[in-house]
């Protein structure tokens, strides 16, 4: 009798835990996901096969991203930001327009780069073959990769010379596009809207702080920064600005954003120009 009661209460408890833990809106079955195990990925002249990554995923990724790739791995409860839900096919770091799938190369780069200020480390010890196989494995979780094509990567014109005029024009864009509303007038992530930002799962999220020496989530080269605001970071409050910033003007904004960062070896010239111009922070009208 007692064991029966114990069994019953244990089962009820387990059911409740299961019922409460499913936060994700997408819940695919193991069979549904397994039907895409023939998924391939192509980048850097390599071909990746999802099947070949099964063991690596179980060894390195499953703890956070979970066996179903929905970001509900056993560590997920203790993580912030939460691990990505691969089933949705929505990714922050893309070379493609907002609302489209990333290219295989985007995912290939993200695995190697990691995501700064999250629990996703740079997996730079993996061989390229391991990485491209894992890209195929990540893709096989979402039915979207079987039916949709990635967006066409945005065109980035060659980087021009940094000039005082360009830095000043970039400052005007920072004001006009109202980047400061979230990132703050000095880029300190303390704009008037910063405290209320939430991601697509309604979890609180912070804007990037340009001044604390951390790296932007989707890469720290000039081209990476260009891509970040022109494609937006899907799943987050960061929108795409490509409808409103012309390709060449976007470089001006990159140069201005560089002046907000502390010296990091990639912004020597921009900081020097800002110092000479004695540029004050933008002032909202």
**Stretch near other proteins under the rule CB under 8 A, chosen from 133-141, 228-236, 256-264, 272-280:** 228-236
Tokens of 125: 């010890």
Residue that has been written with the tokens 């509900």 in this structure: 72
For 227, the enclosing helix (H) or strand (E) is helix 222-231
Of 28, 133, 175, whose CA–CA distance to 87 is shortest?
28
Q: How far is CA 221 from the centre of its chain?
A: 15
**Part of the chain binding other proteins (CB under 8 A), chosen from 98-106, 119-127, 128-136, 272-280:** 98-106
Identify which range of 38-46, 69-77, 117-125, 231-239 contacts other proteins by CB under 8 A.
231-239
Which of 23, 40, 52, 98 binds other proteins (CB under 8 A)? It is 98
We find the least distance from the C-beta atom of residue 144 to other proteins, in angstroms, to be 7
CA 216 from chain centre, in angstroms, equals 9
Closest approach, Cβ 244 to other proteins, in A, equals: 5
Contact 184, 190 (CB under 8 A): yes
Residue 150: how many other CB atoms lie within 10 Å: 20
Using CB under 8 A as the binding rule, the residues of this chain from 117 to 146 that contact other proteins are: 143-144
On whether the CB atoms of residues 166 and 252 are closer than 8 A, the answer is yes
* Token pair in block for residue 135: 């890209």
**By the rule CB under 8 A, 90 interacts with other proteins:** yes
Build a one-symbol-per-residue string for 23-42: x at contacts with other proteins by CB under 8 A, - elsewhere: --xx----------------
- Could you tell me if residue 74 is left (phi over 0), alpha (psi between -120 and 50 degrees) or otherwise beta? alpha
Long-range own/partner contacts, residues 122-129 (CB < 8 A, 24 or more apart):
123/60, 126/56, 128/44, 128/46, 129/46, 129/48
Single residue of 56, 105, 200, 249 touching other proteins by CB under 8 A: 200
* Identified binder of other proteins from the candidate list 4, 31, 243, 280, rule CB under 8 A: 243
Q: Scanning residues 169 to 198, which ones bind other proteins (CB under 8 A)? A: 176-178, 181-182, 192-193, 196-198
For other proteins, the closer of residues 133 and 187 by Cβ is 187
Smallest gap from Cβ 181 to other proteins, in A, equals: 5
Give residues in contact with other proteins (CB under 8 A).
Answer: 25-26, 87-90, 98-100, 143-144, 148, 176-178, 181-182, 192-193, 196-198, 200, 232, 234-241, 243-244
């Amino acid at each position: 009798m007692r064991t029966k009661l114990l069994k019953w209460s244990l089962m009820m408890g387990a059911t409740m835990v299961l019922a409460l833990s499913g936060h994700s809106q997408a819940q695919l079955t193991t069979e549904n996901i397994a039907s895409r195990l023939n998924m391939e990925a192509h980048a850097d002249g390599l071909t990746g096969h999802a099947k070949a990554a099964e063991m690596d995923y179980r060894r390195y990724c499953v703890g956070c991203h979970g066996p179903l790739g929905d970001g509900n791995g056993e560590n997920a409860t203790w993580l912030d930001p939460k691990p990505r839900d691969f089933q949705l096919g929505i990714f922050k770091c893309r070379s493609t327009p907002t609302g489209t799938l990333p290219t295989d190369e985007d995912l290939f780069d993200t695995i190697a780069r990691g995501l700064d200020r999250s629990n996703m480390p740079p997996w730079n010890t993996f061989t390229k073959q391991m990485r491209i196989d894992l890209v195929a494995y990540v893709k096989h979780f979402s039915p979207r990769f079987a039916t949709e094509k990635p967006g066409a990567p945005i065109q980035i014109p060659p980087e021009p010379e940094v000039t005082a005029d360009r830095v000043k024009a970039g400052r005007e864009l920072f004001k006009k596009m109202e980047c400061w509303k979230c990132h703050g007038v000095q880029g300190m992530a303390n704009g008037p809207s910063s405290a209320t930002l939430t991601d697509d799962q309604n979890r609180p999220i912070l804007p990037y702080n340009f001044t604390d020496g951390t790296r932007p989530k989707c890469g720290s080269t000039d081209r990476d920064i260009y891509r970040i605001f022109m494609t937006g970071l899907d799943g987050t409050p960061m929108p795409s600005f490509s409808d409103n910033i012309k390709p060449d003007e976007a470089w001006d904004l990159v140069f201005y954003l560089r002046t907000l960062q502390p010296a990091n070896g990639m912004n020597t010239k921009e900081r020097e120009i800002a110092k000479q111009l004695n540029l004050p922070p933008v002032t909202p009208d």
